[in-house]
Structure 1
């Protein structure tokens, strides 16, 4: 009999990027293909890189296929595709300055793709590392003028970051990771990115990378509207639970456990990513070892889970 109430562990997919490095191997022990590995698609049902189920009755299944064929595992979630995508990004160099469309625009102009609202948890970073987050233009005319004039230092807003920082990045937000930042990203299940500036970089063939100036201008939020995030912190006997965001597409929290922590589970499903430490996960009588770099899904029907150890986990659900 298939046990549909056990944890699903996932095999990540790695993506080479011009700005990538080796931190995914150095920090998490992953086997990466090259020294330009920029992204770990840790929990992905997207056609451009699907995670594979590692354990149990569904071992070897692509996550997207499992979502389609066994929707009850995911609480019969209404989305026609697995709704979220969890990544770890190693920004060894600056990423392009970019913006993502919302659902309506992406559906119309990107072959039915979802829009892309995302958020970042800073796992680690170099001293004085920063990100680009927002811009200074007060009107579309000012925005276009500065873009066309290459006034990037006057247009782009830079923010210093440190480990433990969290940023919510709604669609329409001008943004970029800068060099020396390692993040965990929770996002809509989308791979649509519009580059507005790329430091005049060339690819391995010596060509300038494609920009999407017109689409970037169309979808950017002008003026920039920062979202005031209020973190909710619950200090329990053996755990500190910090809820970073409860938004339209996802809720994201961090569990810091030292000892034994049990939690009720009443979601369609939940995603877990171990970012530090080790321990055990107990669900419905099954005990699973956990280590840094593990990624898993708690399916629908699981009513309670228990984490034992000294461990930090990012938990998300739609």
Structure 2
């Protein structure tokens, strides 16, 4: 029986819109001041995270997934690992984009490709920073006309955000992070993005504008856009708060806040596993007398056979992601 979670070594990606907040806020060893993404937990081919500790130290998560289904509620590990967690630093606006659902991704991108539903938990935002979220078109033809004529100001909806905000982004939603926003992004394990607009930026590698995907993007965009209603529940006691940010078919996301001198008891259900990211503070996980240190920027998995454990914290904030019912049913 394991007495410590599976800690991950994040994979860092440079982006045209990236900055240096992943180093400043989380201490990551970024490859350049244009680092946009830290893939904290990933078994996707474009960013394979590695186990940092224990008997699987040095092994890629994807290999542990394939060989040890007992750690993942005996899901079908011949299929792709279903979830991913990133931290994104938007030093500049991201491209205006949309993601497909599972059926479209499999048909157009390959039989093992997943669709991409995601969510954002805002970790920091400069004053007045915003996101692009949704659109005004009422029909597909109106959407196509506004895209082709570049009527972005009329088409795109924007929303001002602040630290602590939560945004649910189902597949089919036109969206983008705006400059000055840093988010934790729990999502399906997919890297399929269809760009509608990229502000005419030039890729420094090619010297050309980045490619756009109008046809596929308009295929998959949900029209009209209706902002999802997300119901949240909070349990609160002295020095501890747990908020369920969302319970969706793809993932269940919770935020835990633990103040100093507080220990909470947890039990990992045998029918699920938990992806966890430390977004603030420090603490420990205690399992059978063994203590694992938690620091801001850590990402780890609590496997389905982990059983009972405790968490101690000092202004500790953890965001956890678990498979939703759809993933459990198809897994």
1:260 is displaced (CA, Å) by 1.1
Q: Which residue of 1 aligns with 2:293?
A: 289
User: Is residue 9–residue 52 contact of structure 2 (8 Å, CA) maintained in 1?
Assistant: yes
1:76 is displaced (CA, Å) by 1.1
Secondary structure, counterpart of 1:105 in structure 2: helix
Q: Which residue of 2 aligns with 1:49?
A: 47
1:78 is displaced (CA, Å) by 3.4
- The alignment status of 1:264 with 2:267, answered yes or no, reads yes
Aligned alpha-carbon RMSD (Å): 1.0
Q: How many residues in Structure 1 have an aligned counterpart in Structure 2?
A: 316
Q: Which residue of 2 aligns with 1:214?
A: 215
Q: Deviations over 1:261-312 (max 9, x none)?
A: 1122214210110000001111233210111011110011122221112200
Structure-2 separation of matches of 1:284 and 1:133: 45
Secondary structure, counterpart of 2:22 in structure 1: helix
Structure-2 separation of matches of 1:293 and 1:6: 17
Q: Which runs of 4+ in 1 moved over 6 A?
A: none
1:238 is displaced (CA, Å) by 3.3
Q: Deviations over 1:221-276 (max 9, x none)?
A: 00002110111111023310010100111000100011111122214210110000
Q: Which residue of 2 aligns with 1:153?
A: 153
1:5 is displaced (CA, Å) by 5.4
Secondary structure, counterpart of 1:90 in structure 2: strand
Q: Which residue of 2 aligns with 1:94?
A: 93
Equivalent of residue 320 in structure 2, options 296, 312, 315? 315
Structure-1 separation of matches of 2:91 and 2:74: 39
User: Is residue 73–residue 301 contact of structure 1 (8 Å, CA) maintained in 2?
Assistant: yes
Q: Deviations over 1:1-40 (max 9, x none)?
A: xx44531100000001000010000000110111111000
Structure-1 separation of matches of 2:101 and 2:83: 15
Q: Which residue of 2 aligns with 1:253?
A: 254
Structure-1 separation of matches of 2:172 and 2:13: 24
Equivalent of residue 279 in structure 1, options 280, 283, 307? 283
Q: Deviations over 1:83-142 (max 9, x none)?
A: 100000000000000000000000010012100000000000100000000000111111
Write the mapping of 1:187-226 to structure 2, written as runs, cut at 5 A: 187-204=187-204, 205-226=206-227
User: Is residue 2–residue 306 contact of structure 2 (8 Å, CA) maintained in 1?
Assistant: no
Q: Which residue of 2 aligns with 1:240?
A: 241
Write the mapping of 1:132-143 to structure 2, written as runs, cut at 5 A: 132-143=132-143
Structure-2 separation of matches of 1:52 and 1:136: 42
TM-score between both structures, scaled by the size of structure 2: 0.94
Structure 1: any 5+ residue segments left out of the alignment? Answer: none
- The alignment status of 1:304 with 2:321, answered yes or no, reads no
User: Is residue 238–residue 260 contact of structure 1 (8 Å, CA) maintained in 2?
Assistant: no
Secondary structure, counterpart of 1:306 in structure 2: strand
User: Is residue 172–residue 220 contact of structure 1 (8 Å, CA) maintained in 2?
Assistant: yes
- Of stretches 85-94 and 256-265 in structure 1, the one that deviates more from structure 2 is 256-265
Secondary structure, counterpart of 1:253 in structure 2: strand
User: Is residue 5–residue 300 contact of structure 1 (8 Å, CA) maintained in 2?
Assistant: no
Q: Deviations over 1:19-69 (max 9, x none)?
A: 001000000011011111100000000011111000000000000111001
Structure-2 separation of matches of 1:283 and 1:137: 53
Structure-2 separation of matches of 1:282 and 1:197: 48
Structure 2: any 5+ residue segments left out of the alignment? Answer: 324-331
Secondary structure, counterpart of 1:210 in structure 2: coil
Structure-2 separation of matches of 1:135 and 1:268: 36
